[in-house]
Structure 1
Amino acid sequence: MLTAFRITAILEGISYLLLFALTMPLKYWADMTEPNKVVGYAHGFLFIAYVVIAIVFVRERKWGLRRTAILLIASLLPFGTFYADKKYLKPLDHSS
């Protein structure tokens, strides 16, 4: 579960940054809507997957509300999932 969550967190973070840094400027400045649509759908799927896996993961680990909130809020912030991975998930990988 940890590996799946870490991969999803990284992919969600990448899709979020691609959406804002690449495809939205293409949509509004170059009138290219297709990349935004494709990356937007991918990001939406990854966002939902991240939230679902986060909830399952924190229940499995019996983590409290604070860590749960941090992991969920991280999905809303640029670079947030990278922070969550480094601060909360990567150390677990080394301790297993």
Structure 2
Amino acid sequence: MPQSLTPQRTFRAVAVAETVTWTLLIAAMIIKYGLDGGDLPVRVAGSVHGFVFLSYAVTAVVVALNQRWSVPVTAVGVLSAIVPYMTVPFERTVERRGMLEGVWRTSTTDDPRDHTLVGRLLRWMLVHPALFAALLLVVVTVVMTVLLALGPPGEWRSHAA
């Protein structure tokens, strides 16, 4: 990973992007329901928001692994994307606590977690950032495609019945 692209900068950028897409989705819903603007704005903004939402969740997990966050902190980080505008306050909180300091862990240390399968896989991905980014893009795209095929979350029950 480029040294200028630290975990802190990466997480902040994706947290802000997630917040921006919440704004786009809310504006699209106002256009649709308040101004009778049709489905298109919500479909476009919803798709963009969904993609960034999933990207944020993946980024939160990768940063959490790199920074060695606890499972509860990681869960709160991922779940903060569900509540509109909560990703930035979460990012600011972990930043103030020093939980975003440092660089990407691309080398093994004496920490036993570096010797686990997850630790080795994380390091391998961080050493191969282009491949890692492409893999994440594929994963997020596949998940997004499945979710789009299912339709809006409110309609998921009708698919299961």
CA pair 93-66 structure 1, distance change in 2 beyond 3 A: closer
1:36 aligns with 2:46: no
1:95 and 1:3 map into 2 onto residues whose CA distance is: 10
CA pair 24-63 structure 1, distance change in 2 beyond 3 A: same
Structure 2: segments with no counterpart, 5+ residues: 1-6, 103-161
Q: Which position in structure 1 is the counterpart of 2:12?
A: 6
Name the aligned partner's letter for residue 45 of structure 2: V
RMSD over aligned CA atoms reads 2.1
1:94 and 1:49 map into 2 onto residues whose CA distance is: 18
- Number of aligned residues: 95
Q: Which position in structure 2 is the counterpart of 1:24?
A: 29
Q: Which position in structure 1 is the counterpart of 2:69?
A: 63
| Structure 1 residue ranges, 4+ long, deviating more than 3 angstroms after superposition | 89-96
What is the CA distance between 1:91 and its match in structure 2? 5.7
Given that 1:6 and 1:89 are in contact with CA atoms closer than 8 Å, whether structure 2 keeps it comes out as: no
What is the CA distance between 1:30 and its match in structure 2? 2.2
What is the CA distance between 1:79 and its match in structure 2? 1.7
Given that 1:74 and 1:80 are in contact with CA atoms closer than 8 Å, whether structure 2 keeps it comes out as: yes
Identity %: 27
Name the aligned partner's letter for residue 94 of structure 2: Y
Q: Deviation per CA, 1:11-35, whole angstroms, max 9, x where unpaired?
A: 1012113312x11011122232222
CA pair 30-38 structure 1, distance change in 2 beyond 3 A: same
Name the aligned partner's letter for residue 85 of structure 1: E
Helix, strand or coil for the counterpart of 1:63? coil
1:82 aligns with 2:81: no
Name the aligned partner's letter for residue 14 of structure 1: V
What is the CA distance between 1:60 and its match in structure 2? 0.8
Q: Deviation per CA, 1:40-96, whole angstroms, max 9, x where unpaired?
A: 111011001000011111011111012111101211111211111211136649955
Q: Which position in structure 1 is the counterpart of 2:113?
A: none
Structure showing the higher helix proportion among its residues: 1
**What's the TM-score once normalised by structure 2's chain length?**
0.53
Which structure has more relative contact order (CA 8 Å, sep 6+)? It is 1
1:94 and 1:58 map into 2 onto residues whose CA distance is: 9
